[in-house]
A and B are shown apart, each in its own frame.
Chain A
């Protein structure tokens, strides 16, 4: 672990407990304290998750009280032959990678900047968390109003600057919808990533830079040989989690475009939601969820490997 802020609770949590750790009496006491949480968690989190994974292998449907049958990989076969599935998958990857990478690059630059003795640091930091705390639905509404073809200020500014002579329907046009949605995704996520990286930067030992400077390292060299290695854990953690969150995101795009126009912004979660709650294909939606889980496990493996290595 490299950073103070990031590491503190973990270090405290991992501290070998005092006398009597692991004794049966402690196990009993712990179970007693766990009890009130256990039933709701098992019933409403663990069981649904297992059941949800299994549901992908059945032909479960909403509404009808017919028996659901185990159909093996049937849903997955259907998905593979469904162009909309491949589209949502492709769109999901474009969205996830673009938002994560672009917001990371911008956030790293900004964090480096805010880590200097520049003014407005406090303002930037306070503002940074507002997008994160706002209800996603409100963020989506705000951007729909901003990007509105006739009443939105973005179009007005573009026209005022004579960059376009016709209003652009950003969220309604086939070619602009996905980029527009990506910009909103960056707006929401970037500030938080910046603050995280800034916390990481501030915990790097100053003397490392002084030593590097004595050795004649310039700014770039210091960045490559001190900053990046020291930030590694934080970078991998925040980007892999951003990837997972972006890949799973729903509310923002649901309100921005509902997957439209013409499915151009149909993220995997929107596709699965439509399958389940619009068409009633529970089994199919769960199968889609299973595919997403496999992808997430890849991201997660990367993150966990990094964490284990940093703890070793």
Chain B
């Protein structure tokens, strides 16, 4: 298609504006995390750091609360991911392969759980977990996260299972393999990319989650990274910009690493989820 030069120029300007709007905050956060304290104090700070200074990162890491919260977040996210996969895989298999009455019910639940205001769920959850002495504990948060991130994991996994050719399973069962054997030795290996994508997605959700953690965790020893970061800004006035920016960058790194691997796969998974619910 021929495009007039003026139109073409306007197009590039538009894309450029978009990239600036999108990238500037990110670049600025990263550059702030690398600026020396002197540079912050100067009256005329520049957009990019004059020279790279990693002291903000070491300052942030010396902050005991921050390191502990990172370990808490890591523990919670890994445990959530493992549990979600273990529990979701059989369900996803059943959803993709069997036409049972549970299917419409589950799909309805997936949709509903994505759209309901969490305030309705969190108060009763709080009331259920309290007598079990699970509020203000890491296992309590893990269980809640598991149930809360399962619908989407199911949604993704279900699509991946459906993509495994049925004929392979039929061939295995003709050869006399049991259903379980077929799942473990035929379906699982083919599902690996899908499982990895789902695991990463679940990890990111748990790592980023804020609301349930805010309500369920009061003990400073147990707080997750987002909670501790949020408390940092709450203490207006004595905020140290450099370490705060560094801590923010550190909090984003796991998501971004997973994300780099996940990108392409995630878009299709997300879209199917987004459109189907």
How distant is B15 from chain A, measured CB to nearest CB, in Å? 6
Q: Point out the residues of chain B lying under 8 angstroms from A282, CB to CB.
A: 123, 127
Asked if A195 lies at the interface with its beta carbon under 8 angstroms from chain B, I say yes
Known: A18-B166, A27-B101, A37-B150. Is A44-B248 also a contact (CB below 8 A)?
no
CA distance A299 to B118 in the complex (A): 17
Main secondary structure of the interface of A (DSSP, over half): helix
Q: Mark A229-262, 1 if CB is under 8 A from B, else 0.
A: 0000110011001001001101100110000000
**How many angstroms between the C-alpha atoms of A30 and B266 in the bound complex?**
27
B58 at the interface (CB under 8 A from A): no
- Residues in A whose Cβ lies below 8 Å from that of B232: 141
- Given known A-B contacts A8-B268, A135-B255, A142-B29, A51 and B124 have beta carbons under 8 A apart: yes
Q: Which of A71-79, A94-102, A106-114 contacts B (4 or more CB under 8 A)?
A: A106-114
Size band of the interface chain A makes with B: 35 or more
Cα A94 to Cα B117 with chains together (Å): 18
As a 0/1 sequence over residues 4 to 17 of chain B, the CB contacts with chain A under 8 angstroms (1 = contact) are: 00000001101100
A238 to B109, CA, bound (A): 19
Q: Is A5 an interface residue (CB 8 A)?
A: yes
Our pick among B21, B26, B40, B47 for the contact of A130 (Cβ within 8 Å) is B26
Q: Tell me the dominant secondary structure on chain B's binding face.
A: helix
Q: Which of B59-67, B90-98, B185-193 contacts A (4 or more CB under 8 A)?
A: B90-98
Q: Is the CB of B117 within 8 A of A276?
A: no
Are A289 and B25 closer than 8 Å at their CB atoms?
no
Q: Give the bracket for the number of chain B residues in contact with chain A.
A: 35 or more
Cβ-defined contact, A144 with B233, below 8 A: yes
B22 pairs with A191, CB closer than 8 A: yes
CB contacts (< 8 Å) of A60 on chain B: these are: 123
B125 at interface by CB-CB < 8 Å: yes
Residues of A within 8 A of B96 (CB): 12-13
Interface members, chain A 88-142 (any B CB < 8 Å): 106, 109-110, 113-114, 116-118, 120, 123-124, 126-131, 133-138, 140-142
Taking A29-B179, A51-B124, A293-B117 as contacts, is the C-beta distance between A6 and B272 under 8 angstroms?
yes
User: Is A216 at the interface (CB under 8 A from chain B)?
Assistant: no
Given A118-B12, A273-B119, A289-B120: A36 touches B90 (CB 8 Å cut-off): yes
User: A47 in the interface, Cβ–Cβ < 8 Å?
Assistant: yes
Report B88-121 residues with CB < 8 Å from chain A CB. Answer: 88, 90-91, 93-103, 106, 109, 112-121
Known: A8-B272, A124-B18, A141-B229. 20 other contacts (CB 8 A): A9-B276, A31-B102, A34-B90, A34-B102, A37-B88, A44-B125, A48-B122, A52-B121, A60-B123, A127-B23, A133-B259, A135-B252, A138-B251, A153-B28, A156-B45, A187-B21, A250-B210, A255-B230, A269-B119, A272-B117
| Partner-A contacts on B (CB < 8 A) | 1, 3, 11-12, 14-15, 18-19, 21-23, 25-26, 28-29, 32, 40, 45, 47, 86-88, 90-91, 93-103, 106, 109, 112-125, 127-128, 143-144, 146-148, 150, 155, 158-159, 162-163, 166, 170, 179, 204, 207-208, 210-211, 214-215, 225-226, 229-230, 232-233, 241, 244-245, 248, 251-252, 255-256, 258-259, 263, 266-272, 274-277
